[in-house]
């Protein structure tokens, strides 16, 4: 694999090239896996192979950039909305149901699921891919949720000994079933999705003794 040091390329022209490279690379990785040829990515993006390496250094860095771009597009609204709702309301139940709905909508987009499957298949060869996924995925909502949990614990409205474990449990109730289903090429229907969100959040808050 070619490895070079990416250059600091700035300006509108460089930005347009990066956008074209990321778009072409996402399509290539989804179609051919991590073995997608950089030559083909460059040709699809309308740039030279050297230009791809000038921007990203190597294919691993390019793939991490593709993951970051896809998750940013899928989850940016969910992350911002989560923080805003938790700051503006004391209704944790409504805020968590909104958050769960946004998470699921973003993370079950076909391209996002395809990239996740690719990450899991390549993470042994390239552990950094898993780190990139965690860095850009739903874990970005963790600070806002943990802050809200701690505020409600201090107010006596939650009994939650370990907020980090609680965050994982919330994901397990509302999001993980979709990720497991996608591993086997399946999807969950809208009714089941809504049931998982509504009952999952209710179970979560009941277990942690949430007081409205």
Measured CA to CA, the distance from residue 51 to residue 199 in angstroms comes to 50
Q: Are residues 78 and 163 in the same domain?
A: yes
The residue segments making up the domain with residue 200 are 70-207
pLDDT tens digits, one per residue of 176-211? 999 999 988 899 999 999 999 999 999 999 999 999
pLDDT tens digits, one per residue of 77-112? 888 888 888 888 889 999 999 999 999 999 999 988
Enter the pTM of the model.
Answer: 0.79
Number of domains present in the structure of the chain: 2
- At residue 75, the pLDDT reads 84
Two tokens, residue 156: 């006596």
Alpha helix stretches (DSSP H) within the chain: 12-32, 38-45, 49-56, 59-88, 92-107, 110-122, 127-136, 142-154, 163-174, 176-183, 190-207
Q: Are residues 47 and 118 in the same domain?
A: no
Q: What is the percent of the chain with per-residue pLDDT over 90, rounded to a whole number?
A: 50
In this model, does residue 131 exceed pLDDT 90?
no
Q: Are residues 51 and 134 in the same domain?
A: no
65 part of a folded domain? no
63 part of a folded domain? no
Residue 166 is part of a domain; what is its CATH number?
1.10.357.10
In this model, does residue 24 exceed pLDDT 70?
yes
């Amino acid at each position: 694999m070619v490895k070079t040091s990416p250059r600091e390329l700035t300006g509108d022209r460089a930005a347009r090239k990066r956008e074209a490279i990321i778009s072409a690379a996402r399509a290539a990785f989804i179609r051919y896996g991590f073995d997608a040829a950089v030559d083909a990515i460059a040709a699809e993006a309308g740039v030279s192979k050297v230009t791809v390496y000038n921007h990203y250094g190597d294919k691993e860095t390019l793939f991490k950039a593709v993951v970051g771009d896809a998750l940013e597009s899928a989850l940016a609204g969910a992350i911002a909305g989560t923080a805003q709702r938790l700051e503006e309301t004391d209704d944790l139940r409504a805020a968590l149901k909104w958050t769960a709905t946004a998470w699921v909508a973003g993370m079950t987009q076909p391209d996002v699921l395809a990239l996740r499957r690719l990450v899991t298949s390549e993470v042994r060869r390239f552990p950094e891919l898993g780190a990139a996924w965690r860095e850009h995925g739903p874990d970005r909502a963790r600070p806002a949720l943990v802050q809200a949990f701690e505020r409600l614990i201090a107010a006596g409205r939650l009994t939650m000994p370990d907020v980090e474990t609680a965050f994982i449990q919330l994901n397990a109730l509302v999001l993980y079933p979709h990720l497991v289903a996608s591993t086997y090429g399946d999807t969950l229907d809208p009714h089941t999705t809504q049931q998982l969100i509504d009952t999952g959040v209710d179970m979560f808050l009941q277990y942690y003794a949430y007081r409205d």
